Amino acid sequence: MKVKSSLPAVVCAVVFSALLTIPAIAADPVKEASKVQSQAKTEAKNMANDAKQALPDAAQVNINTASAEQLQLLKGIGVAKAQAIIDYRTQNGQFKAIDELANVSGIGAKLIEQNRHMIKL
Protein backbone atom coordinates (compact mmCIF):
# COMPACT_ATOMS: atom_id res chain seq x y z
CA MET A 1 0.00 0.00 0.00
CA LYS A 2 1.35 3.36 -1.08
CA VAL A 3 0.84 6.51 1.13
CA LYS A 4 0.22 9.75 -0.74
CA SER A 5 2.04 12.85 0.43
CA SER A 6 -0.19 15.60 1.83
CA LEU A 7 2.50 18.27 1.45
CA PRO A 8 0.89 20.01 -1.57
CA ALA A 9 -2.41 20.32 0.28
CA VAL A 10 -0.67 21.83 3.33
CA VAL A 11 1.23 24.32 1.17
CA CYS A 12 -1.98 25.37 -0.59
CA ALA A 13 -3.76 25.84 2.72
CA VAL A 14 -0.94 28.02 4.13
CA VAL A 15 -0.73 30.18 1.01
CA PHE A 16 -4.51 30.62 0.84
CA SER A 17 -4.78 31.62 4.51
CA ALA A 18 -1.88 34.09 4.09
CA LEU A 19 -3.65 35.74 1.16
CA LEU A 20 -6.79 36.19 3.22
CA THR A 21 -4.86 38.17 5.84
CA ILE A 22 -3.63 40.81 3.36
CA PRO A 23 -6.56 43.22 2.88
CA ALA A 24 -4.52 45.73 0.84
CA ILE A 25 -4.36 43.31 -2.08
CA ALA A 26 -8.14 43.27 -2.36
CA ALA A 27 -8.51 47.08 -1.96
CA ASP A 28 -8.51 49.52 -4.86
CA PRO A 29 -5.21 51.45 -4.54
CA VAL A 30 -6.65 54.57 -6.18
CA LYS A 31 -9.54 54.70 -3.72
CA GLU A 32 -7.17 54.08 -0.81
CA ALA A 33 -4.86 56.89 -1.91
CA SER A 34 -7.81 59.25 -2.36
CA LYS A 35 -9.10 58.33 1.09
CA VAL A 36 -5.71 58.98 2.71
CA GLN A 37 -5.41 62.32 0.88
CA SER A 38 -8.89 63.36 2.00
CA GLN A 39 -8.10 62.46 5.61
CA ALA A 40 -4.87 64.47 5.45
CA LYS A 41 -6.74 67.54 4.14
CA THR A 42 -9.35 67.23 6.88
CA GLU A 43 -6.68 66.93 9.57
CA ALA A 44 -4.79 69.96 8.20
CA LYS A 45 -8.00 72.01 8.17
CA ASN A 46 -8.82 70.97 11.74
CA MET A 47 -5.31 71.86 12.90
CA ALA A 48 -5.59 75.31 11.30
CA ASN A 49 -8.94 75.94 12.98
CA ASP A 50 -7.58 74.73 16.33
CA ALA A 51 -4.61 77.07 15.97
CA LYS A 52 -6.91 80.01 15.28
CA GLN A 53 -9.00 79.25 18.37
CA ALA A 54 -5.91 78.76 20.55
CA LEU A 55 -4.60 82.29 19.98
CA PRO A 56 -4.29 84.26 23.22
CA ASP A 57 -6.26 87.44 23.85
CA ALA A 58 -3.11 89.42 23.08
CA ALA A 59 -3.42 88.14 19.51
CA GLN A 60 -6.83 89.73 18.98
CA VAL A 61 -7.41 91.35 15.63
CA ASN A 62 -8.20 95.06 15.56
CA ILE A 63 -10.65 95.34 12.69
CA ASN A 64 -9.94 99.07 12.35
CA THR A 65 -6.20 98.68 11.75
CA ALA A 66 -5.57 95.07 10.73
CA SER A 67 -3.99 94.16 7.43
CA ALA A 68 -5.64 91.63 5.11
CA GLU A 69 -3.27 88.95 6.43
CA GLN A 70 -4.17 89.73 10.04
CA LEU A 71 -7.89 89.68 9.27
CA GLN A 72 -7.46 86.22 7.77
CA LEU A 73 -6.53 84.93 11.23
CA LEU A 74 -10.24 85.10 12.00
CA LYS A 75 -12.24 81.95 11.38
CA GLY A 76 -14.12 82.06 8.10
CA ILE A 77 -12.27 85.13 6.81
CA GLY A 78 -10.35 84.49 3.62
CA VAL A 79 -8.72 86.80 1.12
CA ALA A 80 -11.99 88.14 -0.34
CA LYS A 81 -13.71 88.84 2.99
CA ALA A 82 -10.58 90.43 4.43
CA GLN A 83 -10.43 92.78 1.45
CA ALA A 84 -14.16 93.50 1.82
CA ILE A 85 -13.57 94.55 5.46
CA ILE A 86 -10.71 96.85 4.43
CA ASP A 87 -12.79 98.33 1.60
CA TYR A 88 -15.73 98.91 3.95
CA ARG A 89 -13.67 100.72 6.57
CA THR A 90 -11.94 102.78 3.86
CA GLN A 91 -15.30 103.94 2.51
CA ASN A 92 -17.18 104.28 5.82
CA GLY A 93 -14.55 105.03 8.43
CA GLN A 94 -13.63 102.99 11.47
CA PHE A 95 -15.96 100.43 12.98
CA LYS A 96 -17.62 101.74 16.14
CA ALA A 97 -18.95 98.32 17.19
CA ILE A 98 -18.04 94.74 16.34
CA ASP A 99 -21.60 94.13 15.14
CA GLU A 100 -21.04 96.65 12.33
CA LEU A 101 -19.10 93.89 10.57
CA ALA A 102 -22.54 92.60 9.51
CA ASN A 103 -22.66 95.57 7.11
CA VAL A 104 -19.78 94.03 5.14
CA SER A 105 -20.89 91.87 2.25
CA GLY A 106 -20.47 88.17 3.05
CA ILE A 107 -20.26 88.58 6.82
CA GLY A 108 -23.21 87.60 8.94
CA ALA A 109 -24.11 87.36 12.61
CA LYS A 110 -22.93 83.74 12.86
CA LEU A 111 -19.44 84.59 11.60
CA ILE A 112 -19.25 87.55 13.98
CA GLU A 113 -20.23 85.38 16.95
CA GLN A 114 -17.65 82.73 16.06
CA ASN A 115 -14.94 85.39 16.15
CA ARG A 116 -16.20 87.89 18.74
CA HIS A 117 -13.56 86.79 21.30
CA MET A 118 -10.83 87.44 18.71
CA ILE A 119 -11.99 90.87 17.55
CA LYS A 120 -11.20 94.22 19.08
CA LEU A 121 -11.75 97.83 18.02
What would the pLDDT profile of 37-84 be if each residue is shown by its tens digit? Answer: 788 777 767 666 665 555 555 579 999 999 999 999 999 999 999 999
Q: What's the pLDDT at 54?
A: 56
106 assigned to some structural domain: yes
75 assigned to some structural domain: yes
Q: Which domain holds residue 84?
A: 68-115
74 assigned to some structural domain: yes
* DSSP state string for 85-117: HHHHHHHH-S-SSGGGGGGSTT--HHHHHHHGG
12 assigned to some structural domain: no
82 assigned to some structural domain: yes
99 assigned to some structural domain: yes
43 assigned to some structural domain: no
For the whole model, what pTM was predicted? 0.53
pLDDT 10s digits, 77-103: 999 999 999 999 999 999 999 999 999
- Long-range pairs for 92-100 at CB < 8 Å and ≥24 separation? 94/64, 94/121, 95/63, 95/64, 95/121, 96/121, 97/121, 98/63
77 assigned to some structural domain: yes
Q: Please give the tally of structural domains in the chain.
A: 1
Helical H segments across the chain, by residue range: 7-20, 23-26, 29-53, 68-71, 79-92, 109-115
